[in-house]
Structure 1
């Protein structure tokens, strides 16, 4: 096995599609062709380009009380609410809550628009990775936005730096009780998760309170280091920034255990948290820990001793050699023989599944209005939430179970309850129809441009060519003869091949003929709607 040796095969559409599917959210045929024309090296460099941050989320719901909503006096429709007062300060607290819930919906829809529009970039896939790594949950949309902004700004950057920023982020301070951690009432929540989930991992128990990578006493001492950080109340104008209170900080030296070479964290006030993070990151295990997390996110959930030796350790060394910048290691991984050998071993997460449907089938948000655009994205958010991958609402501080819970890992996404929903949502995105989410009905219009997709397939008059080409684009490999026959029976039930050839030729000769156009469109929509329900579409 070549492991991290550079891929030296032919970089065809199959390899390009695999790369784009794993590093971004689905890929249109045009993106795949662009990648092939660029070649592997240039494609990877383009994926890691430093692109501008998106414009902030907008208020998209109109003012009014017809649906129980209330006027937001601080923001007009089509403008951003991010710079508006965090507390709407309306007379009725219920009205305040309605405004904040509307801003929450805007944030979630906007986040899904970023996934939808990510195109040739790994940034959004990494933003979600960090969101699942540094888990927080807080109902205030402003704090959620600024927390997510840290992740997005640092997505391609430095693991140690993002850890420092997240440590004193108000969302995190509230979620893991850091703002309640004082010299008179120490709170160990964040200190424990900083070690166990965010930086180095626990490892096996060696003795009482002593693990492979840290001890219980380290948790106690690091909690003392982190005392004194606070978050102002929601009605305060500066509630979005944490602040340090020296008289709530534990004074004096803090001594870590033998796991950290008995390092002494000297009194350093508001900069002390940086000092302890620097000490943690001196341990080689930090680089291995984050490398394993990235490997599970992008490659495979199961890490064998062989993978540990030949993939994790050398990539971790690259991360350490680059002072915890992750991009150099990821570029090596995505360029490797091992990456292109690791195919069809990952069940798509709900977010991957939804956007592999929309992106590969050219389904885009309507451009008619801000409301239509956000409504489209919000329904996608609700679908992912219903499939148990809800952004800003993880099941627990460890993140989504698919990326840590043995032995199921990715299989968590496809139990007997979730699989029928996955299949229903995929088909409905293609064919249109109504879906019920959380007891509410939503109408999905049939917006996938099936005629446009098929028009770009050379030889589409031949049903065999049409179906095998679509299968290559949707599944990234050739289907069996039995599958071809079954799918052809969806396109032209019980009819010989020439029936499709004649009908499609007639449509091409007279594309404005409503009857011909409607008939061909329905046949193609039924075909593709069936294909996205196949098990082959559920994996990548």
Structure 2
């Protein structure tokens, strides 16, 4: 498998006229025009019994966390795979809510939560920014748990857009629900999100009445959130549901509204369609009748009784954690067993994730280093792996300001936390044949490079009296002394941390030359030793710092750095 292919030029598009190239490109003109046909793994969900060391631990943590650190990877490598996965599947305590960091929100003191305050359109913008910043902070300060990666997964699955719902309090409650249920029961999460005020507002469920059922949520519930379409069998009708099923689901869901005083969904019987709702043969021709505010639960149960719902969900989990190509062997050996286990577990997601993350399939070399990092993963990884220091919680204004800055960077890279582009989520997880390649295009790749260049520069990024900057000397000082004084060992340690693929000898030579342009290896040993002996000497410090900046810039400029 050529994992660098996303940077290769496609001859079929090189001849395209210059006018076809736009500056707002979202899908690279060099991206796949068909799915890759490279042979995939035939391994299934049998427990992995191969070697367990740094490479396997790093692979597991790269897919499970945002930017695992050297300490986290080495700790995992020194434990057993089962111990690490069990820890990853342990939900952490719920975090404290976001706080006010804007002087314009006079109703809430600086540093205090705003999530239960009355809605105020005048400060909605700063509260929404606070929410996004807080969410970014959860990723940066994640525990060694899958909870944050799964919270983002559910956000991409049960989509809302903060900009559309226009109430940051609703957005916070939605985010808290996803985090609470991130490693829990999918069926229950589907029930809870159905009457969540953010979802009721986003997909117009709050407007749905017996005389005018709104079909938006019912349609997306079937098509995007649960069972999926399946092949088209007629106008508006699919193998897994029909247009009449959408209409019946909409009738079931009538009567629900959102209350912006209590920040909750509630049921109004007088607005509910009390008639019988009959579903097609795709759902066993079953009927939901006269259950009032409990009918939405019956609808979710009806959908989750369909085996295709489990398969649909497992395909999405697979594309999130493993790879986007699901060939016949993967469908048979991985997706179907995952779906069977999901059904057997009554839709508890943890047993399925444990089976996948401890499987032969997951650790097959073909599935390592084959995912292009999302903008969020890319940006948070830079910060966490390269140990960028952030302002403390005691200075919430500065801390949230830096988290807000990172959100602005991922937005430029075409992934804005809290606002997927539409109800289907980010296209990189569903749009065939490009999938992850969507993250890399003529707009986003320069933005990624500009961010890493700024972080490794002498200036970094300053705001509110604080600075974000990579300290390359601190990174190397954390290594054993015998490693830190050897240029090739330094390169080996940094590339092992930052890259999921072993480099070629010529690439390693290139990095050596970036560190020591035209100089012998002993030059680094002498300079580093001299610096360690006199760390306050500005000249000696600048000498090693400049060289390490050049090395890190070269590593982050490799195609492999965009892979996980």
Residue by residue over 1:519-539, the C-alpha shift from the partner in whole angstroms, topping out at 9 and shown as x without a partner, is 212221221122112111101
Partner of 2:375: 350
Q: How does 1:106-185 map to 2 (within 5 A)?
A: 106-137=130-161, 138-185=165-212
Partner of 2:402: 376
Contact persistence 2:459–2:469 (CA under 8 A): no
CA pair 359-191 structure 1, distance change in 2 beyond 3 A: same
Partner of 1:427: 453
351-360 or 40-49: bigger deviation? 351-360
Instruction: Find 2:550's aligned residue among 518, 521, 526.
Output: 526
Residue by residue over 1:340-392, the C-alpha shift from the partner in whole angstroms, topping out at 9 and shown as x without a partner, is 12112110000111122111111232226111211111111111111111122
Partner of 1:7: 48
CA displacement at 1:446 relative to structure 2: 5.5
CA pair 157-432 structure 1, distance change in 2 beyond 3 A: farther
Distance 2:91 2:500 in 1: 29
Whether 1:457 and 2:479 are equivalent positions in the alignment is: yes
CA displacement at 1:56 relative to structure 2: 0.5
CA pair 209-105 structure 1, distance change in 2 beyond 3 A: closer
SS at 1:5 equivalent: coil
CA displacement at 1:205 relative to structure 2: 0.8
Whether 1:362 and 2:384 are equivalent positions in the alignment is: no
Partner of 1:82: 115
| Unpaired stretches in structure 1, ≥5 consecutive residues | 64-69, 88-95
Contact persistence 1:14–1:477 (CA under 8 A): no
Q: How does 1:135-534 map to 2 (within 5 A)?
A: 135-137=159-161, 138-232=165-259, 234=260, 237-238=261-262, 240-341=263-364, 342-367=367-392, 369-431=395-457, 433=459, 445=467, 447-458=469-480, 459-534=483-558
Residue by residue over 1:491-525, the C-alpha shift from the partner in whole angstroms, topping out at 9 and shown as x without a partner, is 12221212111101101111222221222122212
Distance 1:116 1:488 in 2: 31
Cα RMSD of the aligned pairs, angstroms, is: 1.8
SS at 2:266 equivalent: strand
Distance 1:275 1:446 in 2: 51
Distance 2:82 2:183 in 1: 17
CA displacement at 1:433 relative to structure 2: 4.3
CA displacement at 1:103 relative to structure 2: 0.9
Instruction: Find 2:100's aligned residue among 39, 59, 65.
Output: 59
CA displacement at 1:50 relative to structure 2: 2.3
Contact persistence 1:430–1:446 (CA under 8 A): no
Return the TM-score normalized by structure 2: 0.88
Distance 2:531 2:203 in 1: 61
CA displacement at 1:414 relative to structure 2: 0.4
Contact persistence 1:434–1:443 (CA under 8 A): no
Partner of 1:33: 74
Aligned positions, number: 515
Residue by residue over 1:233-264, the C-alpha shift from the partner in whole angstroms, topping out at 9 and shown as x without a partner, is x5xx22x1111111111112111010000001
Contact persistence 2:82–2:358 (CA under 8 A): yes
CA displacement at 1:430 relative to structure 2: 2.8
